[in-house]
Amino acid sequence: MNDLLIWRHIKLILIFCALSLFVISGFGCSRGTSKAQASVQTQSGPQSEYTVKLDDTQLKSIKVGPVGWHLFKMEHEAVGNIAFNDDRSVQVYPSYQGKIINLFADLGDNVRRGRKLYTINSPDLVQAESTLIASAGVLDLTTKTLERAKKLYETQGIAQKDLQQAASDQQSAEGAFNAAKDAVRIFGKTDAEIDRIVAKRRIDPVMVVRSPIAGYITARNAAPGILAQPGNPPAPFTVSDISTVWMVAYVLESDSPLFHTGQDVSVKLMAFPGRTFKGRITTIGSAVDPNTHRLMVRSVIRDPRHELKPGMLAAFTIRTGAPLRSVAVPVDAVVRQGDGTMTVFVTADGHTFTRRTVKLGLQQDGYHQITDGLKPGETVATDGAVFLDGILENEAD
């Protein structure tokens, strides 16, 4: 009985060993078949030294080309926003306080210099005109008194000192009248309007506020009945010359020594793809933001067609040096690995490709600058590098 049990145990062990050998041999055959179908050969070693050999059918997915030279422009870019040119923007306050009566312009209007924007009822203007009318009356009286004194003096009707006193009074009245006229002019009254006030002896309390420059109405905070005061924001109107605008950008602290006032800039905007606007750096900030470690750079951009609007996202490019001639490959020739390294596939015979690690520099015009890892004249896969890398990854799995 014991012998029978021992024999059964031996048979089970033999069957288990046979099954194990069958599975192992079948797995090896299947892997060998897979490699043969892919026509790929790999060599052990570092990841960058893996080699792929392709057949003629697979080569149709690959393009190769020589490593050459490329001129890289020494440029720097920064992102910013369009803003009004405050140097050509005026907040139009009244010279004296008063309630707004009427409005004569709206947001977005193109106004010339001297255009009437709004009117106010000014108590100060009433006082100035009252003084003007009173001084005009005094001047008229002293002038007539002087004329009578001259006639009396000719007939020896008065003494010379009385004539001199009359002349002095008339000159004082004339000076007071001229000063009153100048005071009314400050309120925007013309000489014709002043003469009419004096002739009719009637006060005109309406003060007209005009645009001091030609431009566009870029802000309006006025409405009839609102009290407008000089220097008390918001201004009733803001007029801006928008033939130029500002682009305010912030550059890295490490790049700040490359920027100087007077440098020409090229500006591109999301709103106008394919177009470039020209400008010049006019202001560089005096301090670096301690939180972002960036420096403000402001440029004046020419906008003769008034297309750029404040708040638009823009990017400017500035040339900071002479072009650099360097080894380069097309962008599609470079593959980024999972560990962050950059690789290309080098070939000598057009069939066997070896993955090689390279170091990149600038990227411009569809080319990567190669600072280390390639020499001019070597041949690389310029298109299909991702396909080659995928084959290697599959083999590694």
Cα 165 to chain centroid distance, Å, stands at 70
pLDDT score, position 127:
92
Rounded CA-CA distance 207/128 in Å is: 12
Q: Is the pLDDT of residue 31 over 80?
A: no
pLDDT score, position 396:
61
Q: In the predicted model, what is the mean pLDDT of residues 81-95?
A: 91
Q: Which CATH architecture has domain 78-86+239-319?
A: Beta Barrel (2.40)
Rounded CA-CA distance 51/14 in Å is: 43
pTM over cut 0.75: no
Percent of the chain with pLDDT over 70: 87
Number of C-beta neighbours around residue 3 at 10 A: 7
Q: Is the pLDDT of residue 10 over 70?
A: no
End-to-end CA distance of the chain: 52
Rounded CA-CA distance 301/23 in Å is: 75
Q: 395 pLDDT band (50/70/90 cuts)?
A: low
Strands 110-111 and 342-347: unpaired
124-185 folds as Helix Hairpins (1.10.287)
Rounded CA-CA distance 141/134 in Å is: 11
pLDDT score, position 16:
46
At position 336, the amino acid (one-letter code) is R
Decide if 54 contacts 39 (C-beta within 8 A). yes
Q: Which CATH architecture has domain 47-73+324-396?
A: Beta Barrel (2.40)
Q: What is the pLDDT of residues 248-257, one digit of tens each?
A: 999 888 888 8
Residues 6+ apart with CB under 8 A from 150: 163
Which segments of the chain belong to CATH 1.10.287.470?
Answer: 124-185
Decide if 344 contacts 62 (C-beta within 8 A). no
pLDDT score, position 397:
59
Which segments of the chain belong to CATH 2.40.420.20?
Answer: 47-73+324-396
Residues 6+ apart with CB under 8 A from 281: 259, 260, 261, 262, 263, 265, 297, 298, 299, 318
Q: What is the pLDDT of residues 325-381, one digit of tens each?
A: 899 999 999 999 988 899 999 998 888 999 999 999 888 888 999 999 999 999 999
Which segments of the chain belong to CATH 2.40.30.170?
Answer: 78-86+239-319
Torsion of CA 175, 178, 179, 185, to 10 degrees: 180
As a whole number, the mean pLDDT across the chain is 84
Q: Is the pLDDT of residue 78 over 60?
A: yes
Whether omega before 257 lies within 30 degrees of 0, making that bond cis, reads no
